[in-house]
Amino acid sequence: MEKKNLDWANIGFGYVQTEKRYVSNYKDGAWDEGVLTEDANVVLNECAGVLQYAQTCFEGLKAYTTVDGRTVTFRPDMNAQRMFDTAKRLEMPTFPKERFVDAVKQVIKANESYVPPFGSGASLYLRPYMFGTNPVIGVKPATEYQFRIFTTPVGPYFKGGVKPLTLCISDFDRAAPNGTGHIKAGLNYAMSLHAIVSAHNAGYDENMYLDAATRTKVEETGGANFLFVTKDNKVVTPKSSSILPSITRRSLMVVAKEYLGLEVEEREIFKEELSDFAECGLCGTAAVISPVGKIVDHGKEICLPSGMTEMGPITKKLYETLTGIQMGKIEAPEGWIVEIK
């Protein structure tokens, strides 16, 4: 497969329009058969449900070129399941999971020339999403929807690649108890924009959100879960019903336990404990694992012993093992790697 002539090594995390996208419409209680199209624009009625009451949700996953030149994607069934769960919570129709995986395969195949070559450090990001399309003016769910998947080649989510990040503990809450923090609803991101702009303006890379009820426990950032490493090399991640169940984080916990032989624990993590950890990382499809060097709590600096110049040793092993699995260098657990043929 001839690749596009892009500057793969220097590509950022942005939108580059590729050739084909997948579209399926829902009307009269059923999804149509779906098509690949070259039309990158969506034309909507002025009163569409998504425009009025933000009835929209999304997913994110990546396609990679392996060391032996195959095109693969990572655990698309998990994204299918999470979008299914999200749609239910938002009173949207569910997109059948096997059709989701099939659409992922179709759209990668159709844009294979945009899947960055092995070793470039870039990948093809897929954005499946769904939104209410028919006019809705009373507050109620739409009855017509569109499901789409577009692709865009991407590099690192955080500028500076693997340079450790500085976070601030946010005064804003990301998700309410019994709210929508555990699903991938567009509204969670809309309400985080002011918080992220404020953090950036104050010189921070990202926010650390605390639990809204007590503001004592660590939740996540706007787009990634946390992993911490204790001084005796245990990998710990926050347990909360209001954070997004990250596929990367769940995979890394398996990698830590099964591949690296480390003890792992999912539990509540208190803000007061932060200074006890040896390493901290943000994990997600976009973030992969991005190391955190410093967390600032209203002027009080918590400096991770792993420092501000490179990833901590356990974070690095986790990163190398996960990306090794994704790039076909390390044998994957059953079902994690789906080849695009």
- Residues serving a catalytic function are 184
Is residue 59 within 8 Å of 321, Cβ to Cβ? no
Instruction: Tell me which H or E stretch contains 324.
Output: helix 313-326
Within 275-294, the residues that bind ligand PLP by CB under 6 A are 284-285
Number of residues in contact with ligand PLP under rule CB under 6 A: 12
Please pick, from the candidates 80, 103, 149, 244, the single residue that binds ligand PLP as defined by CB under 6 A.
244
Site string for ligand PLP, 60-79 (x = CB under 6 A): x-------------------
Contacted entry of ligand PLP, ligand COI, none for residue 247, CB cut-off 5 to 8 Å set by kind: ligand PLP
Residue at 308: amino acid letter:
M
Instruction: Tell me which H or E stretch contains 318.
Output: helix 313-326
Based on the shown chain and the rule CB under 6 A, indicate whether residue 210 belongs to the binding site for ligand COI.
Answer: no
Contacted entry of ligand PLP, ligand COI, none for residue 242, CB cut-off 5 to 8 Å set by kind: none
- Least Cβ distance, residue 292 to ligand COI (angstroms): 16
> How far, in Å, CA of 125 to CA of 223, rounded?
15
Smaller CB distance to ligand PLP: residue 307 or 324? 324
Based on the shown chain and the rule CB under 6 A, indicate whether residue 153 belongs to the binding site for ligand COI.
Answer: no
Based on the shown chain and the rule CB under 6 A, indicate whether residue 248 belongs to the binding site for ligand PLP.
Answer: yes
| Cβ atoms within 10 Å of 284's Cβ, excluding its own | 20
Based on the shown chain and the rule CB under 6 A, indicate whether residue 223 belongs to the binding site for ligand PLP.
Answer: yes
Q: Name the β-bridge partners of 225.
A: 220, 283
Based on the shown chain and the rule CB under 6 A, indicate whether residue 286 belongs to the binding site for ligand COI.
Answer: yes
Smaller CB distance to ligand COI: residue 34 or 60? 60
Return the structure tokens found at 13. Answer: 């995390």
| Cβ atoms within 10 Å of 309's Cβ, excluding its own | 9
Smaller CB distance to ligand PLP: residue 132 or 223? 223
- Least Cβ distance, residue 250 to ligand COI (angstroms): 13
Encode 127-144: b = buried (16+ Cβ within 10 Å), e = exposed. Answer: bbbbbbbbbbeeeeebbb
Cα dihedral 245, 249, 255, 261 in deg (nearest 10): -100
- The residue with tokens 């995986």 is 101
Contacted entry of ligand COI, ligand PLP, none for residue 288, CB cut-off 5 to 8 Å set by kind: none
Is residue 29 within 8 Å of 78, Cβ to Cβ? no
Footprint of ligand COI on this chain (CB under 6 A)? 60, 223, 284-286
What residues make contact with ligand PLP under the rule CB under 6 A?
A: 60, 220, 223-225, 244, 246-249, 284-285
